[in-house]
């Protein structure tokens, strides 16, 4: 169901995983949700039970983002929310990634979110209200070993988001908000094949979150914007402390490695025998 006056919400990377969970949670909360993703057929299938509104979108395409924003702006209530969720992960030491991999991580995770933000702000600044919610990750708050280039792209997104929010306020725009959601590791297809990957240890150092839990927090954040929200809150405080003391963080690298490996084994037991098989 939708609630009159809630407006339209665009979610990128919504064909599966966290994006699909966020879209479903927003739909249940009364938003008109436009699901976007690279594959038109897959995202249409995801959108079918949520009102059937979907469009193919490569977030690296600035003009395509603007087209989606303009379409959402024409819905009843206008474009009220844009969720930049699309993202990719590559693990391993930074020097093991070739130029194409590094460029793709930055283009999707950082520049893609910038494209979506700019497209949304073009509409929202004109109408005087709206909210951009960027899914950043705890990796945006600290340099995660083994996920260095991914973390760099998320650091860039965090800086861009907070700087853009400050720019809006300096320009006298009070009705448009930018929020960053920084969740811990989430058990989605992004991590399903990482249970034996030493490069992904940082993602398993905490308690893996479900997409539904993160989506529920995203809905609350959509209702009440805040500049930065970490999930769980204590993990955000923990990594910020380590980020403030880099020598301590480096000294604790063996602890991170041990905790991450233990987390991988724990998740493998929870996932069961299918954890070692292919996942879609």
Residues designated as active site:
150
Q: How far apart are the first and last CA of the chain?
A: 29
Going by C-alpha positions, the residue among 185, 222, 226, 280 that lies closest to residue 27 is: 222
Residue 179: phi, psi to the nearest 5? -125, 150
Distances (CA, A) of 9 to 25, 29, 41, 191, 217: 11, 11, 20, 26, 16
How far is Cα 212 from Cα 120, in angstroms, rounded to an integer?
25
Q: Is 167 left (phi over 0), alpha (psi -120 to 50) or beta?
A: alpha
Residue 178 burial by Cβ neighbours in a 10 Å radius (0-12, 13-18, 19+): buried
Q: Give the H/E segment covering residue 133.
A: strand 130-135
DSSP assigned state of 140 = G
Q: Which residue has the tokens 């059937």?
A: 52
Please report how the helices 148-170 and 99-106 are oriented relative to each other, as an axis angle in degrees rounded to 10: 30
Instruction: Find the angle CA(114)-CA(115)-CA(116) to the nearest 5 degrees.
Output: 90
How far is Cα 198 from Cα 207, in angstroms, rounded to an integer?
17
Q: For residue 17, count other CB atoms closer than 10 A to its CB.
A: 19
């Amino acid at each position: 169901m939708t609630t009159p006056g809630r407006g339209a919400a665009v979610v990128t990377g919504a064909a599966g995983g966290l994006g699909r969970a966020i879209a479903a949670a927003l739909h249940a909360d009364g938003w008109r949700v436009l699901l976007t993703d690279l594959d038109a057929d897959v995202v249409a299938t995801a959108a079918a039970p949520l009102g059937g509104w979907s469009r193919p979108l490569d977030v690296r395409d600035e003009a395509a983002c603007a087209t989606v924003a303009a379409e959402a702006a024409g819905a009843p209530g206008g474009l009220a929310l844009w969720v930049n969720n699309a993202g990719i992960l590559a693990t391993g030491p930074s020097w093991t990634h070739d130029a194409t991999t590094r460029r793709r991580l930055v283009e999707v995770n950082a520049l893609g979110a910038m494209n979506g933000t700019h497209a949304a702000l073009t509409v929202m600044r004109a109408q005087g209200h709206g909210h951009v919610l960027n899914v950043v990750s705890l990796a945006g708050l600290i340099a995660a070993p083994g996920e260095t280039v991914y973390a760099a792209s998320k650091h860039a997104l965090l800086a861009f988001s907070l700087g853009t929010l400050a720019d809006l306020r300096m320009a006298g725009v009070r009705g448009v908000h930018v929020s960053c959601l920084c969740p811990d590791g989430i058990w989605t297809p992004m991590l399903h094949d990482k249970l034996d990957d030493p490069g992904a240890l940082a993602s398993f150092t905490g308690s893996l979150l479900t997409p539904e839990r993160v989506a529920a927090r995203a809905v609350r954040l959509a209702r009440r914007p805040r500049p930065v929200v970490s999930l769980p809150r204590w993990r955000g405080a923990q990594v910020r402390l380590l980020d403030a003391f880099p020598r301590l963080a480096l000294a604790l690298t063996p602890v991170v490695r041990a905790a991450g490996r233990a987390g991988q084994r724990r998740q493998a037991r929870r996932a069961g025998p299918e954890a070692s098989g292919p996942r879609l």
